[in-house]
Structure formats: C-alpha cells, structure tokens
Structure 1
Amino acid sequence: MTVDWWTIGLQVINVSVLIWLLSRVFWRPISAVISRRQQEIAARFAQVADGQKQLEADRAAVQKARDGFDEERAHIIAQARQDAESERTAILAKAQQDASALQAGARQSIAQEEADSRARWHGDAAALACDIAGQLLKETGSSDVARKALFDKLLTAISALPDRERTGLRDGFAFVSASAPGPDDQGAYETALVSAVGGHPSITWTTDPALVEGFAVKTPYLTVASNWQADLVRIREALSHAGN
C-alpha cells in the first residue's frame, strides 16, 4: 500500500484551516453568548438570593409584628380582666355598703318607732293614771289640812318670785280656787296674799273645779299655781319623760 503524503498533508491543512475558521467564526460568538447567558443566570441567581433574603426579612418582621400583636392582645385581655374584677369588687363593695346603710336605716327606723311607741304608751299610761287620780280626788274630796298645805305652798311660790314679778302682782290679779271659799276663809286668804305681795292689790275671786283642789294666782303675764291639777300635770310629764 502506497501512502500519499501530499494528500495527507493537504487534509491536515484543511482540518487546521477548518478548526481555525470554526474558532474564529463560530466558537467565539457561541462562547460570548454562553458567557453572557452565564452572567445573566448569575445575575438572576443573585436577584433570587436577594429576594430570598428580603423574603426572610419580611417574614421575620411579620413574625415579630405577630408576636407583638399576641403580646398586646394578651395585655389587653389581662387589663380587661383586671378592670372587670376591679369593677366587680367595687360593685360588690357598693352593694354591701348600700345594704349595710339600708339595714342600719331600717334598724334606726325600727328603734325610733319602738321609742315613739314606748313614749306614746308611757304618755297614755301617765295620762290615764293622772286622769284616774284626778277623778278619784274629785270624788273623795280633800281635807282642810290638804287645802291649807296647798295654800301655804302658793304663798311660798309667790314669795320666791323675782321682785319684778312679785311687784307686778300689786297691780291686781285673779285668785282662782277649786271651790268657792267661805267668808272667813276668803278673809284669811286675802290677808295672807296681801302680806305676801305687798301693797293693796285688787283681787278678783273666781272658781275652777278643774283644779280639783288648790289655788292659782293669775295675771295676763303670770300664773302661780298650787293645786292638784298642776301636780297631776307635773306627775304626768315626769312619768312620760321617765318612759323616754
């Protein structure tokens, strides 16, 4: 077999030229395109990485906000519960205070009613007792000793008057007795009264059976009494006050 070195050499040259042409005309543009695409892909990856970082940051911010919302909600709920409990406690305290006030008012009202009732009972009892005593005294009458004692008591009361009031009796007064005195008794009464008052008073003689027994000296401005009616009134007032 014979080797044609010229043919081989030409083929080698042709291959070399073809490789050179491909590297100059075809491979460089393709390499440039590939390089550009690689750069674009790298830029896209960088954008995706940045977006991923931003997404993570946004997610962290959202989670932080959510945690803040949860904390704020828990705080609001706790505050609302505390306010509700405080209000409930205040309402219960106010209700208890009002109930205590009502109870105290009721007790005071009941006590006042009981005191008023006791006072009325004592007053009625005292009035009844005095009425009975007065009626009995009227029915049984009195003795000269009792009448004299009442008149002496009247003279003592006149003597104990202040000078101005006792002097005022000198202008005249009414002498009231439970029953009309006889002439001798009237003379004795007049002498004793003039001596107690002094001067020459004008005496008006009147009777009032309501006195039961005893006497009274009266002017438009003054009354000096010594009679069983006055004594019964004082006893009645004393009994009424004793009941209070």
Structure 2
Amino acid sequence: MSFDWVTFGFQLVNVLVLLAILQHFLFRPVADIIAKRQAETQEALRRAEAAELDAEAAERAAEAAKHQTEAARHDVLTAAQDEAEAQRKAILDAARTEAASLAQKAAEQAQAVVTGAAAETLARARDLAEVIARRAVSAQPVPPDGAGYAARLAQALAALPDDQCAAILAGANLRLAAPAPLSAAEQTAVRAALGLEKAGFELDQSLIAGLELRSDTGLVHNSLAHDLDQIARALTAEAAA
C-alpha cells in the first residue's frame, strides 16, 4: 500500500477549509457570545459590587440616622422633661405662694376676729363688772359698817321661816363671821342688835364685807361676796335665756 500525497493534500485542504468555515461561522460568534457574556457578567459583578456598596452606605446612613434619631429623641425627651420639671416647679411655687397668701389672709382675718372678739368680750366683761358692782353696791347697807350689816342680818333672819330660823339659832357652835376683826365694843353692839348675847365671832376674809350668822345646823348669808356671786349667777342665767 502506497501513501497518496494528492489525497492527503485534498484532505488537508478540506480540513483547513472546514476550520476556516468553523472559525467564521462558529468559533467567532461563540467567542463573541462568550465575550459578551463575560462583559455582562463583569457588568453584573460591577453592579452587584456597586449595589453592595450602596447597601453598605445605606446601612451606614440608616445607622447614622438611627443614632441621630435616638439623639434627637433623647434631646426631645430631655427638653420635655426639663420643661415639665420647670412647669411643675412653677406650679408648686405658685401654689406655695397662693397658699402662703391665703394663710396670711386667714391669719389676718382670724387675728381681726380674735381682736374683735377680745374687744367685744372685754367690753362685755367691763359692762358686766359694772352691772355687778352697781347691783352689789346698791344691795349693801348704809352705812356699810358692822351696825349696818347687823341690821341687814336681822332682816334676813326675820325673813326666814320660823322653823329654819329656830334650827339655826339652836344649833351648836353659833357664831358670827366677819371679814375683819371687830373691836369689843363692835361685838357688843352687834350681839345687842341681833339679840345673840352668846354668839361667838370668827374671821372670814372671803366675805369681803358683811356679817354672816353660822351654826352647825345652817347659816344666813349676809356679805358682799355672796351678793356678787348671786348677781353673777343671775346675769349668767339671763344671758343664757
């Protein structure tokens, strides 16, 4: 078997032609497509990187906005709290001032009422004392001495029921009470005026003025102190009525 160079040459030419055809109709479009796809891929990667960068920037911006919002919120809350505290203090200060003013006015009014009441009470007490003194003085004997009080005591004894008068006079320890010591002559005159020769004498300064008859079975009031007490009781009863 011999090698046919002509056939080999034709086959080689056919291969070259086929390669040229493939190069023109297959390899170049495929290469263009691959290049285009690579370019698109690179563009997609670039866009993805840009989008990632944008996302990171947006995230940083969002984080910054979050911090800014939190700071603004904190500032707003702080300002609101400060304003609320200032308003609270202002309200409390105003309330304290108003309360102090009301308390001062109330104290002044109370003082005025107390002063007026005290003045009115003093005036009433003065008037009452004057009435009591006038009535008490008018009830005293004239002259207001031992003889005068002895005469009034005799009238008081005579005004008593007989049995009551007899019981007092018959009682043990019969005595006459005076607010000041009586001389022997005064004692004799008083006993004679009352017909009580055996009556003793005792000192009782609480009577103020007067002469009272006392025994273990009773007594007959006849003194300025008793008159004042009776007048005061009567005036109190009149005021209550």
* TM-score scaled by length of structure 1: 0.50
Aligned to 2:32: none
Given residue 153 of structure 1, which amino acid in structure 2 is its aligned partner? A
CA offset at residue 172 of structure 1?
1.0
Name 2:96's counterpart in structure 1.
91
- Superposition map of 1:58-207 within 5 A: 58-115=63-120, 117-118=122-123, 121-122=126-127, 125=130, 129=134, 137-138=142-143, 150-154=153-157, 156=159, 170-176=171-177, 180=187, 186=192, 189-190=195-196, 203-204=199-200
Identity percentage of aligned residues? 10
Query: Could you report, residue by residue, the CA deviation over 1:147-194 in whole angstroms, capped at 9, with x for unpaired residues?
Result: 666424245569798xxxx679722121258955659x7386349xxx
TM-score normalised by structure 2 residue count = 0.50
Q: 1:226 aligns with which of 222, 227, 231?
A: 222
Q: 2:53 aligns with which of 20, 34, 48?
A: 48
| Root mean square deviation of aligned Cα | 5.7
Q: How many residues align?
A: 202
- 2:145 and 2:192 map into 1 onto residues whose CA distance is 23
Equivalent-residue separation in structure 2 for 1:80 and 1:45 (angstroms): 50
Greater relative contact order structure (CA < 8 Å, 6+ sep): 1
Q: Structure 1: state its 5+ residue gaps.
A: 1-15, 17-30, 192-201
Compute the displacement of 1:44 (Å).
4.2
Deviations 1:82-141 (A, max 9, x none): 412431342034213421342144124413541454256447646875797699932899
Instruction: Please state how far the C-alpha of 1:62 moved relative to its aligned partner.
Output: 3.2
Distance 1:149 1:118, change over 3 A: same
Separation in 2, partners of 1:176, 1:169: 17
Contact 2:176 2:199 in 1 (8 A): yes
